[in-house]
Amino acid sequence: MTTTPVSQGSDQRERRATRAGGLLPADPVLRAATVLTAVNSLGNGLYFPLGILYFTRIIGLDATAVGLGMTVAGLVGVVSGVPAGRAADRWGARRIGAVLWGGTGLATAAYALVHSYAGFLVTAVCATGLMTASRAVQGAVYADVLPAATRVEARAYLRMVTNVGMGLGGTLGAVALQLDTRGAYITVILLNALSFAGPALLLPRLPLASHVRERTAPDAAAPADGRWRAVRDLPFLAVTVLNAVLVVQYTLSEVGLPLWIVERTQAPRWTAALLMVVNCVLVALLQVRAARRASQVPSAVRAMGWSGLLLAAACAVYALSAGLSPVWAVLSLTAGAVVQVFAEVLSAAGGWTLGYELADARAHGVYQGVFGAGMSAGMMAGPSLVTVTAIAHGTVGWAVLGVLFAVAGLAVSPAVRWAARDGAWRGESVPEPLAGSAH
């Protein structure tokens, strides 16, 4: 589909508005989204380092039981995305997102009242289910309030803000960890709750983008029989599953590498923290640039393919660290982490583009709910998958994991071609160069 000079000029103006002017973006909607994201990620960063310690050290629950409860809560979260997305299509993504964010804030605050395992389980299920559902709806909110030409780049910018907020929050959370008192933990829990509840009040005030105002005209509504189409859209589901496999990479930094460093290498334990810092800094520096280069379907397909291959390379480099001296092990692990960052920013940008462009624009809520549920499933399965491969079997396990990533990344191309052939009902056109996109 060719673009007229007028639309090119409009896209260029939208892109300029997306980019930062001073400390915040020039576009008022993205500026508001930046504030909401910064507040929420700061609260999450405060809470995440000490959440499990609060339940084990302060409440006195068994660590294994807490882990099981979090797994149950994660399962509830996975299935919550699709109905939340359907609700967003029916009643509006901003309205449903505000309800879910506010509910998450209330459920998070309820952690301060927990005194038993039953109370923990109920609260964790509610908080995790609502939070996961809100993240699924968040994709639909971005589809509604951000211009189509710039929403992937805008999501990259917001991801950068998230990394900075999480990093700053984690630094402040270390103070509570050092104090190690019930009062310090409760303070952090309540601050995190406010980081959801506060932005929930502002979310409905974000204005709809022009293309959404046109789409929501009375004669432009999606047909009733197509509103659940996402759960029957096999090509879209295939892309969702492949993206979920690539999402497993996030658990490498959070779970796999710390275990690998301690159990299988001679690298000092602080190496895990070093790799986390390397990841946060490089993602913040590279994500927006990667998004600009993967904002169309063909370039997104290539980005996903390269991501799988780079993840395979990172796995190979991580495996080499097992037989090296402490210094060389640190260098090898750091090199692997740098390669993984390039894979991460490419897969994130490619996934955002495909999640939007392969969806029915009239039912973004349920489509983003399905796509988000796939990501949640990948995150939930990741720790077990990494443990039974790399941690349990060393080099052979890393090889299996690397092959899995490479196959998933390269399989995105035929899956997207399948979606293109099956996509006439969407009322959208997939760019012609897709058929010839190569990795």
| 24-221 homologous superfamily | MFS general substrate transporter like domains (1.20.1250.20)
Q: pLDDT, tens digit, for every residue of 162-205?
A: 888 887 887 787 788 778 889 999 999 999 999 998 778 888 88
Please state, for a pLDDT cut of 90, what percent of the chain lies above it.
36
Q: Where in the chain is CATH 1.20.1250.20? A: 24-221, 229-436
Q: What is the DSSP letter of 249?
A: H
Predicted confidence band of residue 228 (pLDDT cuts 50, 70, 90): low
Cα–Cα distance between 167 and 52 in angstroms, integer? 18
How is domain 229-436 classified at the CATH fold level?
A: Growth Hormone; Chain: A; (1.20.1250)
pTM of the model: 0.76
Residue 262 CB contacts under 8 Å (≥ 6 apart), including other chains: 269, 272
Angle at 283 between CA 279 and CA 287, to 5 degrees: 160
Q: What residues are paired with 20 via a beta bridge?
A: 25
CB atoms within 10 A of CB 404: 19
Radius of gyration of the chain (CA): 21
Query: Which of 39-43, 235-239, 366-370 has the least mean pLDDT?
Result: 366-370
291-297 average pLDDT score? 91
pLDDT higher than threshold 70 for residue 217: no
Q: Residue 156 carries which side chain, given as an amino acid letter?
A: A
